[in-house]
Amino acid sequence: MLCKNARSQEILINQTSHLPSGKARSPGRPFLARLLAVCCGAGCLLHWTDAATLNFELLTWNDTDATDVLPSAAGRKPSKPTPNSGDWLVFTSDDNALPANNNLAGALSHNLVDPPGLAGPHGFVLAPSLSGSLTLDLEPDNGSNWTTKVKALAYAGQANAQMSMNQFLVTPGSPATANSVFNVDGAGNSGHWHASMTANWSLEYDIDFYFATSADGDPDPGDIDATFNDKTQTGHLIPVSQLTAEGLSGVTFAGDFGFYSGDLKQYLITEIAPRLPGNATYLLLTQMGKTSPNYTEAGLPIGLASAIGNFTVAYSTQTLATPPQIQSLHFENGQPVIQFTGTAAQAYQIQRSSDLNSWQTVTDPLLTYPTAGTVAWVDPAPVTAQQFYRVLALTP
């Protein structure tokens, strides 16, 4: 943390001969070193942490990719309708073969719907298949523990060719929070990841979301048909390199909700790993035990007594850039100067904040450092109030 009264001013690159020129490039996903800056007199204190943002795609498997060894998921649903036993995973012995238009994308992720809420902890009637994406922000907390925030989620849900049940994230300020009848605040969407094999790569976070279904005759994504507030997702975020017998040997998987009673390690190795893209870096497994909505629109096939669970399988292809190493944060002629090590051809970005909650990117275009060495950023504005900065290294 840097101390002095700093003013909320835009950070600018000092375009002098010893500083590299900015160069525009498409923004990627950031691995960031966060620099907290509060200036007091001529003294400077420094603190920074690493963080990351990762995009995930739900894994799908369509007929055009099918082989005898890796059959298609299209037309398959996890388990049979309203099972008393079995599992909620595709490509297992109790799958129910349905017409292909019941799983258009060949999805391996499903919402699991028990409309009357009477089928027990594991039973369901509908299993809309899911495709789409979500984004997680990850920031170190303590040791191998990371705090997580769900920044975006948009799933296309398909019960069959005629009925959709799409799913979207609710955040503060979302339309779903504007009307109290929807009973969702958007203030959740956070949790923890334990990033080690000994901690089972376990992940847990609460999430706020809503369904937009065509069952009421309105397929618009903005049509809020059912809401869910602070619903817990549990699971695992595993490096793809660990999806081997040896890599998973010490891992215990969460199975509290009856998603799979067999050998999940073998399932991941034989059924999931071969279906991942060759450049996949992380596998994300999440599950939600059967829970009831906080609001439902009248006339839907689900109501407040209904129970909905889910199981999702997603992957990321992103790698993390080497974080910049902060060397110093000091003043020259009354101006804050941030110095950090740069990597050849690596793009950097500086953001500022007055409260550590809202961050604004203040370097445009991004800086691409041509050679390895020290990058220096100078704020030419007078320093008069508290100000925070962070430096991000962007991954293509």
Q: Tell me how far apart the alpha carbons of residues 370 and 52 are, in angstroms, rounded to a whole number.
A: 23
pLDDT at 69: 83
CA 210 vs CA 24, 52, 296: distances in Å: 37, 26, 10
pLDDT at 329: 76
Q: What is the pLDDT of the chain when averaged over all its residues?
A: 79
Q: Tell me how far apart the alpha carbons of residues 311 and 124 are, in angstroms, rounded to a whole number.
A: 13
Assess whether pLDDT exceeds 80 at residue 260.
no
Sequence-distant (6+) residues with CB within 8 A of 270 are none
What would the mean pLDDT of 343-360 be, rounded to a whole number?
Answer: 75
Domain assignment of residue 255, given as a range: 56-316
DSSP state of 270: I
The label of the residue with tokens 């110093």 reads 328
**Cβ atoms within 10 Å, residue 394:** 21
Assess whether pLDDT exceeds 50 at residue 319.
yes
Query: 375 is written with which tokens?
Result: 């990058």
Element (H, E) at 351: strand 346-353
Please report whether residue 235 resides in a domain. yes
Assess whether pLDDT exceeds 80 at residue 222.
yes
Please report whether residue 223 resides in a domain. yes
Q: Tell me how far apart the alpha carbons of residues 324 and 245 are, in angstroms, rounded to a whole number.
A: 35
Please report whether residue 23 resides in a domain. no
CA 74 vs CA 12, 108, 129, 190, 377: distances in Å: 52, 9, 10, 33, 53
Q: Tell me how far apart the alpha carbons of residues 362 and 357 are, in angstroms, rounded to a whole number.
A: 16
Residue 198 or residue 1, greater confidence? 198
Contact 212, 221 (CB under 8 A): yes
Contact 361, 334 (CB under 8 A): no
Assess whether pLDDT exceeds 70 at residue 214.
yes
Partners of 190 in the β-ladder: 149, 206
pLDDT at 253: 85
pLDDT at 351: 78
pLDDT at 186: 96
* Residue 326, Cβ density class (10 Å: 0-12 exposed, 13-18 middle, ≥19 buried): middle
Assess whether pLDDT exceeds 60 at residue 289.
yes
Q: What are phi and psi of 177, to 5 degrees?
A: -90, -10
pLDDT at 150: 97
Lowest mean pLDDT among 9-13, 78-82, 335-339: 9-13
pLDDT at 395: 52
pLDDT at 382: 61
Assess whether pLDDT exceeds 50 at residue 14.
no
Element (H, E) at 267: helix 264-267
Lowest mean pLDDT among 92-106, 185-199, 344-358: 344-358
Please report whether residue 46 resides in a domain. no
Please report whether residue 29 resides in a domain. no
CA 389 to chain centre: 24
121-155 tens-digit pLDDT:
777 888 899 999 999 998 877 767 889 999 999 99
What would the mean pLDDT of 251-256 be, rounded to a whole number?
Answer: 76
Residue 111 or residue 367, greater confidence? 111
Please report whether residue 62 resides in a domain. yes
Domain count of the chain?
Answer: 1
pLDDT at 346: 67
Please report whether residue 380 resides in a domain. no
Q: Tell me how far apart the alpha carbons of residues 353 and 356 are, in angstroms, rounded to a whole number.
A: 6
What would the mean pLDDT of 315-343 be, rounded to a whole number?
Answer: 77
What would the mean pLDDT of 106-130 be, rounded to a whole number?
Answer: 86
Residue 193 or residue 321, greater confidence? 193
Share of the chain above pLDDT 70, in %: 77
159-199 tens-digit pLDDT:
888 889 999 999 999 999 999 999 999 998 999 999 888 99
Please report whether residue 81 resides in a domain. yes
pLDDT at 163: 86
- Going by pLDDT thresholds of 50, 70 and 90, the confidence category of residue 44 is very low
pLDDT at 62: 86
